[in-house]
Amino acid sequence: MSRALEGLNPERVFYYFEEISKIPRCSGDEKRISDYLASLGRELGLETIQDEALNVIIKKPGTKGYENSPTVVLQGHMDMVCEKDENVVHDFSKDPIRLIVDGDYIKADGTTLGADNGIAVAMALAVLESKDIPHPPLEVLITSDEEAGMNGAKRLDPSNIRGKILINIDSEEEGTVLVSCAGGQRNLVTIPISWETLKEEGKAYLLKTKGLQGGHSGSDIDKGRGNANKIITRILAFAKDECDIRLAKIEGGSKANAIPRNASAVVVVKDKDEESFLQAVGYLKEQIKKELKYGDPDFELEVTALDERIERVFSKDSFNKVIAALTLIPNGVQTMSSEIEGLVESSNNMAVVITHEDKVTIECALRSSVASLKENIAMKIKAVSEIVNGEYEKSGDYPAWEFKKESKIREIFQKVYKEMFGKELKVEAIHAGLECGLFDEKFGGTLDMISFGPNMYNVHSPQEKLSITSTQNTYNLLLNVLKEIK
């Protein structure tokens, strides 16, 4: 049977990328991909460790002339963010990712691609199986559950790693290496709700956002893209002030680390207020479209009259509290760095809203390169929770990776890149979180680390795509860097 990526180079990198794309690997569902990696390591005759967190470490001695060179850790994560377009039939628990080659890009058929971070796994496996690539002793570290809170990295036993140089392959821009990243945290606000039985006749409407791009809640947070949860909240709040409406349901988003693309609400409008309701919603929709004409030009709001009768709605007090919380919780960029031009310093993504039987939950993912600012955003979210008599909890805290002035691996990357491409390598910090921050803390600041990767676009969304040419360049850069470490 023909392969979707057959004929692409580097051949073994894309071979392994296609192989792992066949294996379900959403965050939290990594047993099968972890077993595959561990089994492959053993088949190659290499020392392989699979720990209780499903992290996999595969060790390969240095090639001839590199036996006594410094050990290098090649690092990526095995899980992926699982998002799909609304009309796409795909079961992430069993279906393979359907790969499509479109010019210079590899995409998926209506789902996330998983190049974040499957391409790191594929590059590492290609090096491990090779017989003719010169390299120092290697420890390939593939962590689990990175996207949901870096839980694999948190549970890693540092005694299983000896290398002091770590190359993280989890960045998304060719020609740029990362040397610092933000820390992060998850926050959950739970608002108790009560219900009322509708006594008066009214018309039910479904409000639904369409056409938003979404994206990575770290690297795309400053792109001016609409947050579906904030948009649906704003429309409800505006309509509530203009006429008598009742809320039956509100939901939006699916992953904490993805800017929410879709949100919806079901409302009941009194017959006498139906015209003013539609006018209010239509007016605000047009205003929001104008605001998003550059960041999210395809935004639409779908307003559908429902034939079904809604039997119960939120009490007015519950409606007010939920809308107040969703309005007041900070979202988007909070501060910009005064040290690094253009770098987002702190942000929050109001990511997932769910209506349960007796509560509404609001999940946020906040990030900051300054720990005190991260706590300040969390404090604001907690204050909102207290105002509406909700419950607040935080989890998944991970530290920032701070810039180090001295770095041998950075110098090697800069030297090799200049020799290969005849131009300077960009050295930057990123607002997204990387496992390097946890490794820096776990190993007591002893690791010399850098992060790089090929051009990827729209990660964490069904529009994710990977550049084939950039993957070739990035892989060749990795091979030349390894050759240089003697």
Q: What does the alpha-carbon distance between residue 302 and residue 331 come to, in Å, rounded to a whole number?
A: 23
Residue 128 CA: distances (Å) to CA of 117, 118, 136, 196, 454: 17, 15, 12, 62, 19
Catalytic residue among 30, 146, 147, 174: 146
Q: At 136, which amino acid appears?
A: P
Please, are residues 136 and 31 in contact by the beta-carbon 8 Å criterion? no
Question: Environment class of residue 414 by beta-carbon count within 10 Å: exposed (0-12), middle (13-18) or buried (19+)?
Answer: middle
Measuring CA to CA, which residue among 297, 326, 300 is closest to residue 225?
297
Known active-site residue 146: yes
* Token representation of residue 453: 């990767």
| CA 178 centroid distance within chain | 17
Known active-site residue 6: no
- What backbone phi and psi angles, to 5 degrees, belong to 233? -65, -45
The set of long-range contacts for 384-387, using a CB threshold of 8 Å and a minimum separation of 24, is: 384/189, 384/324, 384/325, 384/328, 384/329, 385/189, 385/190, 385/191, 385/325, 387/324, 387/325, 387/328
DSSP state of 87: T
Give yes or no for a cis peptide into 10 (omega within 30° of 0): yes
Catalytic residue among 18, 19, 30, 79: 79
Q: What does the alpha-carbon distance between residue 184 and residue 431 come to, in Å, rounded to a whole number?
A: 10
Q: What does the alpha-carbon distance between residue 285 and residue 302 come to, in Å, rounded to a whole number?
A: 10
Q: Which residues are catalytic?
A: 79, 146
